[in-house]
Chains A and B, each alone.
Chain A
Amino acid sequence: MMGESGTGESGFLADTALAIVAAVPVTLALFVACAVGASLLAGVLVAAQQGRVGGLVARAWIFVFRGTPLLLQIFMVYYGLAALGPVRHGPLWPAFRDPLFCAFLAMTCCCSAYIAEVLRAALAAIPPGQIEAARACGMARWTLGRRIVVPQMVRLALPAYGNELVMMLKSTSLASSVTVLDVTGVAQQVIAHSYRTVEVFCLAAAVYLGLTAALTWLLRRIERRLDPAGGR
Chain B
Amino acid sequence: MIGDDVALPVLLGFGHDGWALALIAGAGLTMALSLTAMAIGTVLGALLTVAQMSRRGWLAALAQGYGLVLRGVPELLVVLLLYFGTPGLLAAIAALAGLPAPGSPPAFLTGSVAIGLVSAAYQAEVFRGGLLAVPRGQVEAAIAAGMGPFTRFRRVIAPQVLHHVLPPLGNIWQFNLKDSALVAITGLAELMRVSLVAAGSTRRPFAFFAAAMVLYLVLTSASSAVFRFAEARAGRWAGGR
Minimal beta-carbon separation of A182 from chain B (angstroms) = 10
A67 on the interface (CB 8 Å rule)?
A: yes
Asked whether B204 is an interface residue with its Cβ less than 8 Å from the other chain, the reply is: yes
Report if A71-B181 is in contact (Cβ < 8 Å); known contacts: A197-B85, A198-B84. yes
Q: Is the Cβ of B84 less than 8 Å from the Cβ of A201?
A: yes
Bound state CA distance, A120 and B75, in angstroms?
27
CB within 8 Å of A: which B147-187 residues:
174, 178-182, 184-185
Given contacts A69-B178, A75-B196, contact A184 B84 (CB under 8 A): no
Spell out B's residues near A (CB within 8 Å).
68-69, 71-77, 80-81, 84-85, 88, 174, 178-182, 184-185, 192, 195-196, 199, 203-206, 209-210, 212-213, 216-217, 220-221
Q: How far is the CB of B14 from chain A (nearest CB, A)?
A: 22
State the Cβ distance, A10 to closest chain B Cβ, in Å.
20
Pick from B80, B81, B185, B209: contact of A72, CB under 8 Å = B209
Q: How far is the CB of A85 from chain B (nearest CB, A)?
A: 11
Inside 8 A of B220's CB, which chain A residues have their CB? 66-68
Least CB distance, A117 to chain B, in whole angstroms: 11
A–B complex contacts, Cβ < 8 Å, 25 sampled = A63-B221, A66-B174, A66-B220, A68-B178, A69-B192, A69-B216, A70-B178, A71-B181, A71-B184, A72-B216, A76-B205, A80-B205, A80-B209, A80-B210, A170-B73, A170-B74, A170-B75, A177-B185, A204-B77, A208-B77, A209-B69, A209-B73, A212-B71, A212-B72, A216-B72
Chain A: residues with Cβ within 8 Å of the partner, total of 40
Name which residue of chain B comes closest to A87, CB basis: B206
Residue of A nearest to B199 (CB): A79
A173 within 8 A of B: yes
A68 touching B85, Cβ below 8 Å: no
Q: How far is the CB of B204 from chain A (nearest CB, A)?
A: 7
Q: How far is the CB of B78 from chain A (nearest CB, A)?
A: 8
Q: Within A102-122, which residues are at the interface with B (CB < 8 Å)?
A: none
B220 to A, closest residue via Cβ: A67
Q: In whole angstroms, what is the CA distance A84 to B80 when docked?
A: 32
A contact residues vs B (CB 8 Å cutoff): 63-64, 66-73, 75-76, 79-84, 166, 170-174, 176-177, 184, 188, 191, 197-198, 201-202, 204-205, 208-209, 212-213, 216
Q: How far is the CB of B196 from chain A (nearest CB, A)?
A: 7
The listed residue with most A CB atoms (<10 A of its CB), out of B69, B71, B85, B209, is B209
Q: How many A-B residue pairs have C-beta atoms within 8 angstroms? Tell me.
A: 116
Residues of chain A within 8 A of B206, CB atoms compared? 76, 80-81, 83-84
Residue of A nearest to B221 (CB): A67
| Closest-CB distance, A124 to chain B (whole angstroms) | 15
Bound CA–CA A81/B32 (angstroms): 30
Closest Cβ of chain A: how far from B134's Cβ, in Å? Answer: 21
Are A71 and B192 within 8 A (Cβ)?
A: yes
In contact, B221 and A184 (Cβ under 8 angstroms):
no
Q: How far is the CA of A81 from the CA of B80 in the complex (A)?
A: 27
What is the minimal beta-carbon distance from A149 to any residue of chain B, in angstroms? Answer: 26
Which of B74, B213, B216 has most A Cβ within 10 Å? B74
Shortest distance from the beta carbon of A94 to any chain B beta carbon, whole Å: 19
The answer on a CB contact under 8 Å between B85 and A201 is yes
Q: How far is the CA of A81 from the CA of B204 in the complex (A)?
A: 10
Which of A81, A191, A198 has the most chain B CB atoms inside 10 A of its CB? A198
Whether B74 pairs with A208 at a CB distance below 8 angstroms is: yes
The answer on a CB contact under 8 Å between B72 and A209 is yes
